[in-house]
Amino acid sequence: MIASLALSLALAPAPAPPVHHGTSAPADRERWILRHRPVRGLWELGAFAGVFVVAKPHDFYDVDLGYRRLRRAGPDAGLRAAYYPLSFLGLEGEFAGIWTAAQYGGQPAFLYGLRLSGIVQLPLSRVVPFAIGGYGLGGIRSPRDALGNDVDPIGHYGLGVKLFVTDWIALRVEGRHLLGPAAHQRRVVASHGEVLAGVSVTLGRGKLRRAAAPAAAAVAAPPPPRDTDGDGVQDVADRCPGFAGSATDGCAPPDADDDGIVDRFDSCPQVEGAGTDGCPVHATAEETEAGEPSKLP
């Protein structure tokens, strides 16, 4: 059930960040636990350190020199890089170095591991539990009076948790069980242990933000002011929103005689006229002055 939920989250389209109307800035109102959670297409580049516990029967030695015990625990450090094509599934490669010594005699020995791992994680919040498993090589470099040099295949699996402190920084702790050959003994497996803590730089969120930016801008842009009659005066300031006008209040200039010449330019504002001055063609001077037509015989 958890895996199906993680798959649906990974394949769902990434939501655009919430925005305030009239601005392009994200509204940072998301709950603390949900911020910075993993997304698909994320890279993690990091370093780690911890403790490696060597099994008593191990195969870190040159067979020509013979088996010798190593000190049980030694400091462990290394580098890792991981890519997550899906928010819940990733592939990781790492190099680890372990500093130890022969248990009797104290000659120094350097163990190392090259590993390739698959990671399944639960990307529901910034606190991300995960499981890891993979395979690789484990080797030793030491003087010939110690254990010599050797390389063997070693598998591993483990559990851990990450904390995404910001969009770019993640902390990680985990424990692993490593399985390898045991002193060339048939059907005997050497069980090593490893406890690690690390920090990673995460990359890849910028591409997601750029993809979400147009949608966020569309949400942020307010609708244009309404102008029902199309006279250039917005409805909120238009005194005559149902009739196109040319005045600043959105109403047409008065034309009492409805002859197409507004009263302020009409010499006969009460008489419908055909002339350019708004008066009838045969209007008398008295009609013009009074604004009324004369009664002709």
Higher-pLDDT residue of 114, 253: 114
Q: Give the DSSP H/E element, type plus range, for residue 173.
A: strand 169-181
Q: pTM of the predicted model, to two decimals?
A: 0.63
Averaged pLDDT, 258-285: 64
Find all residues with CB under 8 Å of 201, minimum gap 6, and list them: 44, 45, 46, 168, 169
**Separation CA 17–CA 217 (nearest Å):** 10
Looking at 72-81, 136-145, 242-251, which range is the least confident one? Answer: 242-251
Q: Is 88 exposed, middle or buried (0-12, 13-18, 19+ CB in 10 A)?
A: buried
CB 251 within 8 A of CB 240: yes
pLDDT at 63: 86
- Give the 3-state secondary structure of residue 208: helix
Say yes or no to pLDDT of 296 above 60. no
Looking at 46-60, 143-157, 197-211, 283-297, which range is the least confident one? Answer: 283-297
Averaged pLDDT, 219-246: 65
Please provide the DSSP assignment of 186-207 as one string. Answer: TT-EEEEEEEEEEEEEEE-HHH
Higher-pLDDT residue of 274, 75: 75
What is the amino acid identity at position 199?
V
Beta strands of 106-168 (E only): which ranges? Answer: 108-121, 127-141, 150-164
Could you give the percent of the chain with pLDDT greater than 90?
47
pLDDT at 155: 96
pLDDT at 10: 44
> What average pLDDT does the chain have?
79
- The pLDDT confidence band at residue 295, using thresholds 50, 70 and 90, is very low
pLDDT at 47: 98
User: Which residue shows structure tokens 């104290």?
Assistant: 106
Find all residues with CB under 8 Å of 179, minimum gap 6, and list them: 154, 155, 156, 189, 190, 191, 192
List alpha helices for 45-180, DSSP H. none
pLDDT at 105: 87
Q: What is the pLDDT of residues 174-198, one digit of tens each?
A: 999 999 988 776 678 999 999 999 9
- The pLDDT confidence band at residue 229, using thresholds 50, 70 and 90, is low
pLDDT at 134: 98
**Separation CA 145–CA 102 (nearest Å):** 10
Q: What is the pLDDT of residues 90-99, one digit of tens each?
A: 999 999 999 9
Say yes or no to pLDDT of 76 above 50. yes
Say yes or no to pLDDT of 27 above 60. no
Higher-pLDDT residue of 55, 269: 55
Q: What is the pLDDT of residues 152-161, one digit of tens each?
A: 999 999 999 9
Domain annotation for the chain: domains and CATH numbers? 2-217 (2.40.160.20)
Cα–Cα distances (Å) from 109 to 37, 58, 68, 265, 268, in that order, read 40, 14, 12, 107, 115
Say yes or no to pLDDT of 239 above 90. no
Averaged pLDDT, 124-150: 95
pLDDT at 210: 62
CB 293 within 8 A of CB 287: yes
Averaged pLDDT, 263-291: 62
**Separation CA 209–CA 19 (nearest Å):** 13
**Separation CA 17–CA 192 (nearest Å):** 45
CB 167 within 8 A of CB 196: no
CB 242 within 8 A of CB 248: no
Greatest mean pLDDT among 12-21, 27-36, 187-196: 187-196
Higher-pLDDT residue of 32, 114: 114
Q: Which two tokens stand for residue 276?
A: 């350019």
